[in-house]
Amino acid sequence: MKTQIKNFFTMELVADENKNPMMTFLTGDVIMTFPLINALELAVCNAFLRSLDTGLDVKFESYRQYGELIHSVGLILERREGGGVLPPLGD
């Protein structure tokens, strides 16, 4: 099932208030957060990333690799959906 995106703004790998990794996904209408601490949470986030239909190979190998994947997905959405303000990778 494909997820329809309107008014894409940004997505990135960040730390929550307890310094645990999570992905944030923002559009003009929606703010979603995906905790990324255990295998189930990663599987849920992977399913969401796959539903965006970017053609990328979605898998978790390390947090560094996953952050790069999230950034790449965001760049594709930015180009495809318009808008977006992704920060440079590493910021």
Q: What is the domain partition of the chain in residue ranges?
A: 8-81
> Between 8 and 41, where is the model more confident?
41
14-65 confidence digits (pLDDT tens) = 999 999 999 999 988 889 999 999 999 999 999 999 999 999 999 999 999 9
pLDDT of residue 79: 86
pTM of the model: 0.84
Render the chain in DSSP notation, one character per residue.
-PPP-SSEEEEEEEE-TTS-EEEEEEESS-EEEEE-SSHHHHHHHHHHHHHT--------S-HHHHHHHHHHHHHHHHHHH----PPPTT-
